[in-house]
């Protein structure tokens, strides 16, 4: 048995995990390089960095598609009975099957189409020229349909794509939840429109970035972000990156308003605190990795919305702002809190409030599912976008730049990503309901999340993780109850 | 011929170079990660970073030792006649033979001994406790002798180690040059000692780091460092890292003196401008890589010493300092220039002036060669160090921390590295002699270095590169002439 001899005394599982650890270390290296590219790299570095990332990704792919990897995986699946090990194998099997079912040429074609699509989108958005972007969208849809038919021929193509972002929530469940969420939020959004209030101008002024940065760092520390295992920098698009040992965040600063950098920091710190809470002893295997996008987003949104948009939070952050900005703002914590929670239909998803946000997601979900299924002609997309927005939010975008061209997701073929944002919000509310302690005791809240979510990594499928943590399946009820109660208070005279 | 079929229409050379490019991209990725570790990484990231770097280095090693790599290399050597390709193959052969002759266990043993040696050295140096470090030094020497006997059994072990840093300069030539340099500098050092002058205190004051940083950036730009392909950050030990597309530098700031950060920046920018001048079209092969340590050091020292310690340089930098520091320093450019060029024997190599520096190197070269040859007992080392320093510089270190424990090189087994510093200085002076233009016209000087050194990468062996650029073999004469002329001026009343 030369194969056994080669791996010495290691079981198939151990030999497999050695390969997985190597692959994960290379993936983590690529993530540091991607962070550096966004935050530190000089403009001239693009070409060399692309070569580095391509070398890493080719190497990871080769580890996975080597015949030995498949054999070890199958052998370990036959041998292992331990529950944790079987969880590792379940996750590896999912990933392995996806990666090995897609021929290299299709991967390359998707990657090229995504690069070209992104570039075309940047230009098309700047000129609000949907026609220029349309052929790229068509090509991306075509390739992604092909991809979907290969990775999971047993489900509709859109479901196969959704699984890339959320492998363990059936699309039917997601759809039912999203539909219920939209219906439940409709009356609240109507109410906000009927009130017709303007956002209070309590934060007007000039807010230099350097001072905002000081406040952002204090706020991140306040909620429990560990700077010995992370750092806060600036980037045009805020993001988080890394793992348990080193989970970094970025934010951006607007001179006219200090709130976006604070809530952006809290959001990204939410993601990063999840990573910081992953079990270090499992570094390099799925047990040491974050569950997928829905759970990740539940963490960022829990801290951003349930904590960062609460009155007690602003009672604590206001003195920090005043210390940094010579006494400004003069408004009371309650006034700032009301401003932060202002609800008003608007065109741009990323600027939307906590309620209308989900109308933006519902719209994208509806349209992208129809596009992937070939039920929505691309000629019709801008019109359908505007029509749906008028139906759900009562406003019509003045141009496609503020309509169907606003998000970058589709430009690189990310169909099926949007729903995870709203599903994450639902889960935040469920987790807050399940948490038995004082919501304003951040160390206690963080510890509860560590115990009930973070420390499990990918040990449980998403549904099981949610049931274990909250006592029920994923549902929009907690979020709707939270929203109704909260806005009754916000809107009380 | 299944092998040919596998690589399709590619020649052996092309198939080989594809592997080399992959390997180089992974090495470049590792260099970015190492930069990040020094400059950006939070303290908690150490363990994960070690896993990432280990995965990269294992992957690079596997590419090299695969049987296919050796076969392609041999086949390409038989097939290729093109001069540039033969240069690539020469460099690959050297590297390949070294890497494949050393068994993995020895590599691991050296790596472990280096890590432990470094840690022990940090502690031993802090306590000035040579005895605690001695067993580590012994172990490192033993392993390195074994290594030397494997990589090149035809030369003395010290020469085999020297080749790791400078493969194409025979040790006999290096020794002759270093001996002549020491002899030639002796009278100048004596003269400096006889003058007995103190360093003029023209730069006394407080120099906040933020303002020094502004000046350092302007100075780097002044000499031609390209910030679109680099950046300047802070680190405890200044270094440079990267390649043609992205060559970064670091420096450190002392509150009591603005000169070290300026000259440190100029030194590291000299290294980085070499990288920025490498031919981009050869990225990923030896033709796109810097020649070895002597040529690299010639670039940093040319800019640091021949430019950065010249009077016209300070005439240009002084206004920058004054602009940043509200008019300080008040001293004239000539006074600052004299202070910057103060010569005085001292214990610490890295703080030494341009002349006594080479006495420090000569001492290390003499002792390390004897240690590797087993002709200097480790019990004798501290004593011999002090004796030699007394002989060459007329001073005796008060303790081993300021004596044989001061440098980190030996603590990780880097025997044979030190000579490249002095050889680099010699080459700087030769290059300045050969350069036909105005030494104070930095763009012209940089362009000449680009044309005569940078653009060649590793195309020529070190000796041939030097002959082509300067018209002669490596020699200390240019440096000695420069030193005599310069210090005659510096020391003129």
| Global ipTM | 0.93
As a whole number of angstroms, the distance between CA B119 and CA B136 comes to 10
**Which residue in A has a C-alpha nearest to residue B47's C-alpha?**
A245
* C-alpha–C-alpha distance, residues B130 and B109, integer Å: 22
B301 CB-near residues (< 8 Å, 6+ apart):
B267, B270, B424, B425, B428
What residues contact residue B223 under an 8 Å CB cut-off, 6+ apart?
B266, B269, B270, B273, B303, B307, B442, B446
The alpha-carbon gap from B54 to the nearest alpha carbon of chain A, in Å, equals 9
Structure token pair of residue A158: 């859109």
**Contacts (Cβ under 8 Å, ≥6 apart) of A143:** A106, A109, A110, A113, A413
Determine the Cα–Cα distance for residues A449 and A469; give it in Å rounded to an integer. 9
Which distant-in-sequence residues (6+ apart) come within 8 Å of B275 by Cβ?
B240, B242, B243, B244, B247, B290
Chain A residues whose beta carbon lies within 8 Å of the beta carbon of residue B246? 41-42, 44-45, 48-49
B-chain residue closest to A49, CA distance: B29
Task: Work out the minimum CA distance from B2 to partner chain A, whole angstroms.
Answer: 19
Indicate which of B28, B35, B42, B279 best probes the interface with A, i.e. most A CBs within 10 Å of its own CB. B42
CB contact under 8 A, B244 and A52: no
Instruction: Judge: B33–A32 Cβ closer than 8 Å, yes or no.
Output: yes
Nearest neighbour of A48 by CB, restricted to B22, B43, B283: B283
Give the one of B32, B44, B243 whose C-beta lies nearest to A245's C-beta. Answer: B44
pLDDT digits (tens, 9 = 90+) for A53-71: 999 999 999 999 999 999 9
B contacts of A49 (beta carbons < 8 Å) = 245-246
Identify the closest residue of chain B to A40 by CA–CA distance.
Answer: B231
Count the residues in chain A.
493
| Catalytic residue selected from B159, B166, B268, B368 | B268
Q: Within chain B, which residues score under 70 in pLDDT?
A: 1-8
CB atoms within 10 A of CB B465: 21
Cross-chain Cβ contact B246/A45 below 8 Å: yes
**Interchain CB distance below 8 Å, B44 and A246:** yes
Q: Which residue does chain A place closest to B28, by CA atoms?
A: A52
- Rounded-to-integer distance, Cα B246 and Cα B249, Å: 10
CA dist., res. A249 & res. A265, Å (int): 7
- How would you class A436 by CB atoms within 10 Å of its CB: exposed for 0-12, middle for 13-18, buried for 19 or more? exposed
Q: Please count the residue pairs, one from chain A and one from chain B, whose beta carbons lie less than 8 angstroms apart.
A: 119
Chain A: give the shortest CA distance to residue B8, in Å.
16
Q: What confidence tens digit (pLDDT) does each residue in B23-40 have? A: 999 999 999 999 999 999
Best of B32, B33, B54, B64 to disrupt the A interface by mutation (most A CBs within 10 Å)?
A: B32
CA A60 to CA B62: how far, in whole Å? 14
Active site residue B62: no
B77-82 long-range Cβ contacts below 8 angstroms, 24+ apart: B79/B11, B79/B12, B79/B13, B80/B13
Helix (H, G, I), strand (E, B) or coil at B364: helix
Taking CA–CA distances from B62, the nearest residue in chain A reads: A59
Residue of chain B with shortest Cα separation from A282: B48
Closest C-alpha among A58, A62, A139, A53 to residue A147: A139
Residues forming beta bridges with residue B248, ordered by sequence position: B241
What is the distance between the alpha carbons of residues B356 and B349, in angstroms, rounded to a whole number? 9
Q: Are A243 and A28 in contact, with CB atoms under 8 Å apart? A: yes
The tokens of A334 are what? Answer: 């309650």
pTM for the complete prediction? Answer: 0.94
What is the rounded distance in angstroms from the CA atom of residue B91 to the CA atom of residue B73? 11
Check B51 against A283: CB less than 8 A apart.
Answer: yes
Chain B positions touching A55 (Cβ under 8 A) are 21-22, 25-26, 29
Residues of A in CB contact (< 8 Å) with B are 21-22, 25-26, 28-30, 32-33, 36, 40-49, 51-52, 54-56, 58-59, 226-231, 243-246, 248, 280, 283-284
Out of A44, A48, A245, the one facing B48 most closely (by C-beta) is A245
Strand segments, DSSP code E, in A209-319 are 232-234, 240-243, 246-251
Write the residue in A25, A48, A54 that is nearest to B52 by C-beta. Answer: A25
Nearest to B50 by CA among B68, B66, B64, B30: B30
Q: State the smallest CA–CA distance between residue B23 and chain A in angstroms.
A: 8
CB B21 to CB A51 under 8 A? yes
The partner residue sitting opposite B42, judged by closest CB among A45, A52, A229, is A229
Tokens 């890493």 belong to A56
Beta strand A246-251 pairing with A240-243: antiparallel
* Number of residues that this document lists for chain B: 493
All residues of chain B having their beta carbon less than 8 Å from the beta carbon of residue A220 are none
Chain B residues at the A interface, defined by Cβ less than 8 Å, are 21-22, 25-26, 28-29, 32-33, 36, 40-49, 51-52, 54-56, 58-59, 226-231, 243-246, 248, 280, 283-284
Residue in B25, B43, B246 closest to A228 by CB:
B43
Q: Please indicate whether, in this complex, the C-beta atoms of B46 and A245 are within 8 angstroms of each other.
A: yes
Query: With contacts defined as CB-CB under 8 Å, which chain B residues touch A227?
Result: 42
What does the pLDDT read at residue A23? 97
Q: Which of B20, B59, B250 to mutate to test the interface with A (most CBs of A within 10 A)?
A: B59
State how far the Cα of A173 lies from the Cα of A297, in Å rounded to an integer.
18
**Residue ranges of chain A with per-residue pLDDT less than 70:** 1-8
The residue assigned the tokens 């299944």 is B2
Chain B residue with Cα closest to A230: B42
- DSSP per residue, B394-430: S---SSSTTTTTS-SGGGGT-TT-THHHHHHHHHHHH
Helix (H) or strand (E) segment spanning residue B153: none
CB-based contact B36 A32, cutoff 8 Å: yes
CA dist A357 and A367 (Å) reads: 16
Q: Residues B78, B81, B86, B90: is their CA dihedral positive or negative? A: positive
Nearest to A56 by CA among A32, A37, A80: A32
Chain A residues touching B225 at Cβ < 8 A: none
B251: part of which helix (H) or strand (E)?
strand B246-251
Contact B46 A226 (CB under 8 A): no
Residues in chain B with CB shorter than 8 Å from the CB of A58 are 22
Closest by CA to A357, choosing from A391, A393, A390, is A393
For an interface test with B, the pick among A30, A39, A45 (most B C-beta atoms closer than 10 Å) comes out as A45
Name the helix (H) or strand (E) containing B247: strand B246-251
pLDDT at A9: 78
The answer to whether A456 and A446 have CB atoms below 8 angstroms apart is: no
- B25, A52: Cβ pair inside 8 Å? yes
Which residue among A29, A47, A280 places its CB closest to the CB of B56?
Answer: A29
Nearest chain B CA: its distance from A41 CA (Å)? 8
| Start-to-end C-alpha separation, chain A | 79
């Amino acid at each position: 048995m030369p194969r056994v001899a080669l791996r010495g005394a290691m079981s198939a599982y151990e030999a497999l995990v050695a390969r997985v650890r190597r692959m994960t270390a290379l993936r983590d290296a690529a993530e540091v390089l991607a962070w550096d590219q966004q935050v530190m790299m000089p403009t001239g570095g693009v070409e060399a960095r692309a070569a580095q990332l391509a070398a890493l990704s080719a190497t990871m792919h080769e580890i996975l598609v080597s015949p030995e990897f498949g054999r070890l995986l199958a052998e370990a699946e036959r041998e292992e009975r331990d529950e944790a090990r079987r969880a590792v194998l379940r996750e590896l099997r999912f990933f392995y099957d996806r990666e090995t079912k897609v021929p290299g040429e299709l991967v390359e074609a998707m990657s090229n189409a995504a690069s070209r699509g992104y570039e075309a989108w940047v230009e098309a958005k700047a000129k609000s020229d949907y026609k220029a972007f349309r052929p790229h969208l068509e090509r991306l849809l075509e390739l992604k349909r092909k991809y979907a038919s290969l990775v999971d021929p047993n489900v509709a193509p859109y479901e196969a794509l959704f699984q890339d972002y959320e492998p363990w929530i059936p699309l039917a469940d997601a759809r039912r939840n999203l539909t219920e969420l939209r219906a439940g939020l409709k009356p609240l959004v109507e109410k906000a429109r009927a009130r017709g209030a303007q956002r209070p101008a309590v934060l007007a002024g000039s807010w230099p970035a350097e001072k905002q940065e000081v406040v952002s760092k204090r706020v991140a520390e306040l909620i429990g972000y560990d700077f010995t295992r992370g750092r806060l920098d600036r980037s045009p698009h805020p993001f988080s990156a890394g793992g348990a040992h080193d989970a970094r965040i970025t934010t951006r600063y607007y001179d006219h308003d200090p709130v976006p950098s604070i809530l952006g920091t809290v959001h990204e710190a939410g993601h990063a605190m999840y990573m910081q809470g992953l079990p270090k002893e499992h570094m390099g295997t799925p047990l040491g990795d974050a569950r997928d996008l829905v759970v990740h987003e539940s963490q960022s949104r829990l801290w951003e919305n349930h904590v960062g948009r609460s009155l007690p939070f602003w009672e604590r952050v206001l003195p920090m702002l005043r210390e940094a900005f010579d006494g400004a703002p003069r408004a009371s914590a309650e006034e700032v809190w009301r401003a932060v929670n202002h609800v008003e239909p608007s065109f741009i998803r990323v600027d939307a409030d906590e309620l209308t946000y989900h109308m933006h997601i519902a719209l994208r979900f509806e349209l992208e599912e129809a596009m992937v299924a070939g039920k929505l002609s691309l000629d019709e997309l801008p019109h359908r976008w505007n029509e749906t927005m008028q139906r759900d939010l009562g406003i019509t975008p003045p141009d496609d730049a503020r309509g169907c061209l606003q998000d970058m997701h589709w430009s690189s073929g990310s169909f099926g990503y949007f729903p995870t944002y709203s599903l994450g919000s639902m889960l935040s509310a469920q987790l807050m309901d399940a948490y038995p302690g004082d919501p304003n005791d951040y160390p206690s809240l963080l510890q509860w999340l560590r115990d009930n979510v973070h420390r499990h990594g990918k040990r449980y499928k998403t549904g099981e993780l949610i049931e274990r943590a909250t006592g029920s399946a994923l549902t929009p009820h907690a979020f709707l109850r939270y929203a109704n109660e909260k806005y009754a208070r916000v809107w009380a005279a």
